[in-house]
Structure 1
Amino acid sequence: MSSTKPLPAALKRWAEQRIGPVVSVRDASHSWDRSRVWDLEGGSGVHRYLKVSPSVKFFTRESRAYRHIVPALGHTRAPHLIDSRAQDLVLLLTAVPGAPVKELGLDTAQWRTVHQQAGALCARLHEAGELDRGDRVKAEASLSAAADGAEKYLARAGDRLDHDEQQLVRDHAARLRRVGPVPVGYIHGNNQPRNWLWSTSGLALVDFERSRPAGRVQDFVILATTQWADHPDREKAFLRSYGRELSDAERHALRCLSALDAVNCLAWGPDNGDAEVTARGRRTLDRLMKEDRP
């Protein structure tokens, strides 16, 4: 369990210059060591969030997303950016109602409703404006870029994968390069129930530090390897409100991306003490190995 992270006094002063006096501060960080997020309560009882990004890359992605992409989701469907300061990698955000979906103990019908709303929000995000030339180049190269990461993940995972499993990952990386064109757009990048907030107002998305131009199918990898693997009704509800079924190329890409996600999980999860991520990687890899056997 990580220790509580105090809000630096200089950042509190900076926030108060923009939102007025802060009467209480709560550490709202994830258990990940580099996560730094605080819930700031103002004198009127209004809550805002102050987030310090873990890297320049994540700050750049998230601040850009809040300015140019996230507003397409609608007023109550995501936080809005109040201000940011690049030298400190800090963002000041409004709060949205709700609690993380994974903590709510939803029943079968409620899970379908959540996935239905998630599909609609994902469609809005993916279609949030035309990609400029530079973003389109990045998006169209995103599958090849993902394949390029295979050897790095394999090296980091080491003997957590046996020879046959390593070969499966390499085979799927090679297949990913041959998938061909898939629809592109702006993706969330960490699209999963941990970042879905549910309330009586409906669903909201949070945490856009991995948002970027990419193949849209990349936003479905975590869902496909967790939620949808055992609950095809949730996938059906999601895609119905998303507005279309996945193409054959996207289905093929999703399988290849799942193999890469598995080795990434097995590289990152044990090193960071994340049993859930580790289990996701092992389960996906076991499934792919079983399905690939003649």
Structure 2
Amino acid sequence: MRQPKLLPAAVRGWAEQRIGPIVSVRDASHDWDRSRVWEVEGADGVHRYVKVSPSVKFFTREGRAYRHVVPALGHSRAPRLIDSRAEDLALLLTAVPGAPAKELGLSASDWRAVHQQAGALCARLHEAGELGRADRVEAEASLEAAADGAEKYLTRAGDRLTDGEQQLVRDHAAQLRHVGPVPVGFVHGDNQPRNWLFSDGVLALIDFERTRPAALVQDLVILAVTQWIDHPDRARAFLSSYGRALSDAERYALRCLTALDAVNCLSWGPDNGDELVTARGRRTLDRLMRESGS
């Protein structure tokens, strides 16, 4: 069991200037070393969250998302940004009800309901505002950028992949460059049940540090290789409320992106002691190899 992370004194002092005295603090970080999130209770009895971003890039993305994208989700469907402090990469957020869907032991019908709401929320996020010129350029280049990352992850993964598996990843990266135009907008960037809070039949989204302009299909990759591969009913529920079917180009891109996700998982997971991420990558890669006849 990891040691609880301590809320830095300077960040606590700044938060107390905004909300008054803090009477209790609970480490709410994800189980990886760069995640730093605390649930704090004020003297008024209200619970809020303090987050210290792992990098300037993530701090900038998340602050922008809360100001310009997240409001499209609607009341109580995501936290609100109370304030931010660039010196410490700190964000002060309201709390939304619920616990991560993955922790709730949901029934099959509840999972379908969760995915149906997730599809509707993702549609709102993906349609949030018009992309400016620079954002559109970034979004339209996002699949090419994903393909460019393949060699970096292959190098990091090293002999965790066979020669045949490495070639399969390279082939999918090459194919990704030629899928043609796909819809673009703002994506959540880590769209999965650990970032879906569910309570009393209502779903909310959290954690927007990876929110950015990109090909919208990139928000479906983790779901495709975890939730949907064994539960196609969840995929149908999500897409029914998402409001449109994926285009042929998106379906093709999604397959290519799952191969890149696999090598990313196999480069990151073992190095960070994350058995679930490692297993996700291995399972996807094994399936793609079987389907390719290799």
TM-score range, shorter chain: over 0.9
Q: 1:82 maps to what in 2?
A: 82
Gaps of 5+ in 2: none
1:98 lines up with 2:98 in the alignment? yes
Q: 2:231 maps to what in 1?
A: 231
| Matched letter for residue 198 of structure 1 | F
| Matched letter for residue 141 of structure 2 | A
Q: Secondary structure, in 3 states, of the residue corresponding to 1:137?
A: helix
Rounded Cα–Cα distance in structure 1 between residues aligned with 2:235 and 2:181 = 23
TM-fit CA distance, 1:20: 1.0
TM normalised by structure 2 equals 0.99
Q: Judging changes above 3 Å, is the alpha-carbon distance between structure 1 residues 280 and 258 closer, same or farther for their aligned structure 2 residues?
A: same
Rounded Cα–Cα distance in structure 2 between residues aligned with 1:42 and 1:153 = 43
Q: 1:268 maps to what in 2?
A: 268
Q: 1:142 maps to what in 2?
A: 142
> May I ask how many residue pairs the two structures share in their alignment?
294
Rounded Cα–Cα distance in structure 1 between residues aligned with 2:145 and 2:9 = 40
Structure 1 segment 206-285 matched on structure 2, within 5 A: 206-285=206-285
| Matched letter for residue 216 of structure 2 | R
Q: Secondary structure, in 3 states, of the residue corresponding to 1:38?
A: strand
Q: Which runs of 4+ in 1 moved over 2 A?
A: none
Q: Secondary structure, in 3 states, of the residue corresponding to 2:269?
A: helix
Structure 1 segment 51-200 matched on structure 2, within 5 A: 51-200=51-200
TM-fit CA distance, 1:251: 0.3
Q: Deviations over 1:208-250 (max 9, x none)?
A: 0000000000000000000000000000000000001111000
Rounded Cα–Cα distance in structure 1 between residues aligned with 2:10 and 2:107 = 44
Rounded Cα–Cα distance in structure 1 between residues aligned with 2:208 and 2:185 = 14
Q: Deviations over 1:44-65 (max 9, x none)?
A: 2210000000001100100000
Q: Deviations over 1:136-191 (max 9, x none)?
A: 00000000000000000000000000000000000000000000100000000000
Conserved? CA contact 1:2–1:33, under 8 Å: no
Q: Secondary structure, in 3 states, of the residue corresponding to 2:29?
A: coil
| Matched letter for residue 255 of structure 1 | R
Gaps of 5+ in 1: none
TM-fit CA distance, 1:2: 2.2
Q: Secondary structure, in 3 states, of the residue corresponding to 2:176?
A: helix
- Percent same amino acid at aligned positions? 79
| Matched letter for residue 150 of structure 1 | A
| Matched letter for residue 31 of structure 2 | S
TM-fit CA distance, 1:75: 1.3
Q: Secondary structure, in 3 states, of the residue corresponding to 2:5?
A: coil
RMSD: 0.7
TM-fit CA distance, 1:21: 1.2
TM-fit CA distance, 1:201: 5.3
| Matched letter for residue 166 of structure 2 | Q
TM-fit CA distance, 1:266: 0.1
| Matched letter for residue 247 of structure 1 | S
Rounded Cα–Cα distance in structure 1 between residues aligned with 2:54 and 2:196 = 21
